[in-house]
Amino acid sequence: MEYRDLRYEVRDHVATVTLDRPDRLNALSAAMLESFSRALHAAHEDPDVRVVVLTGAGRGFCAGLDLRDEAAGQGLGASGVQFDLGSAPPVVLHNMDKPVIAAVNGAAAGYGLDLALGCDVRIAAEDAKFAAVFTKRGVLPESGGSWLLPRLLGWARAAEIAFRGLTLSAQEALELGLVNKVVPRESLAEETATWAREIAANAPLAVQATKRMMRLGLAESFEANVHHVYLQLLPLFASHDFREGMAAFLEKRPARFTGR
């Protein structure tokens, strides 16, 4: 499958999506957004994929929407442009059951920040930046950030960052709990690969069910979530991977999960 300014590859149960427009710090064009959605769908539908890694080529993670396109009247804000929110990358990202790791290799600004926030885990290079500059550009966090940031940080911290249009260093983001780990730039790919391998080694049906129930729990009561978790357990108890997990434990050996 062909992708515009984006690389997609699968290896050892890990799909890596690399935004590949380094000369523009991976700023997103409308065509690039469409490719991005297709890549996420491909990872979601591929039974061989257990984990997705999202990163950027070159010095930046993602500088947001391409403001040159917007200024020229050719971007998403152009008159007559039809945009399907249901297939927009942040929505697809949110609805994916497979875990997604953001390897934030540089600036994550605007839309790029929202994409990073939409991932389940964020590992940042020590020189990465997280720029919530929406209000400085006359817009709002339009790609999930207004929903995600208060849930990740609490209302007061989210308001401080969003209303003031702050840019956070990787260390500041770590101290706030916005990223899971900060590593030297040269260690980012290796550290991300280690986390991806650890997740991929676990039972994929169980990992996906866990993510699904955590996501559902954001919008329902404790009692409702307990009920839904029980319904998720029933097919897991009948799975080959559950039997393999129990056998591996009793035999004191690593489990070999197949996703069945």
Q: List, for residues 9-51, the tens digit of each pLDDT value.
A: 999 999 999 999 999 999 999 999 999 999 999 999 999 999 9
| Boundary residue ending a domain (172, 200, 228) | 200
257 within a domain of the structure (yes/no): no
Separation of CA 241 from chain center: 26
φ, ψ at 47 (rounded to 5°): -65, -20
For the cut 60, the answer to whether the pLDDT of residue 84 exceeds it is yes
Residue 79 — very low, low, confident or very high, per pLDDT cuts 50/70/90?
Answer: very low
pLDDT greater than 70 at residue 246: yes
E strand spans, the chain = 6-11, 14-19, 51-56, 100-104, 107-109, 121-125, 129-131, 167-169, 181-183
**One domain for residues 239 and 176:** no
Cα dist from 169 to 15, 40, 136, 175, whole Å: 27, 28, 18, 10
What pTM, to 2 d.p., does this model score? 0.92
Collect all residues with Cβ–Cβ distance below 8 Å to 172 and sequence separation of at least 6. Answer: none
Q: For residue 208, give the CATH number of its domain.
A: 1.10.12
**Does residue 235 share a domain with residue 128?**
no
Whether residue 196 is found in the same domain as residue 231? no
Residue-level pLDDT at 1? 75
- Report the pLDDT value the prediction gives residue 83, as an integer from 0 to 100: 54
CATH number at residue 121: 3.90.226.10
Give every CB contact of residue 245 below 8 A, 6+ residues apart in sequence.
203, 255, 257
What's residue 74's pLDDT?
56
State which of 158, 183, 200 marks the end of a domain: 200
Burial degree of 82 (CB within 10 A; 0-12, 13-18, 19+)? exposed
Kindly report, residue by residue over 49-76, the tens digit of the pLDDT.
Answer: 999 999 999 999 999 998 776 555 555 5
The parent domain of residue 185 ranges over: 6-200
Place of tokens 């969003």: 162
Same-domain status, 191 and 208: no
User: Do 180 and 111 fall within a single domain?
Assistant: yes
Instruction: Name the token pair of 109.
Output: 């600004």
Say yes or no: 123 and 44 in one domain. Answer: yes
pLDDT at residue 71, rounded to an integer: 56
CB 114 within 8 A of CB 136: no
* Same domain as 125, residue 12: yes
Kindly give, in sequence order, each residue whose CB lies less than 8 Å from that of residue 113, ignoring residues fewer than 6 positions away.
64, 130, 131, 132, 141, 145
Q: Which helix (H) or strand (E) holds 151?
A: helix 145-153
Q: How many domains, the chain?
A: 2
Do 140 and 160 sit in the same domain of this protein?
yes
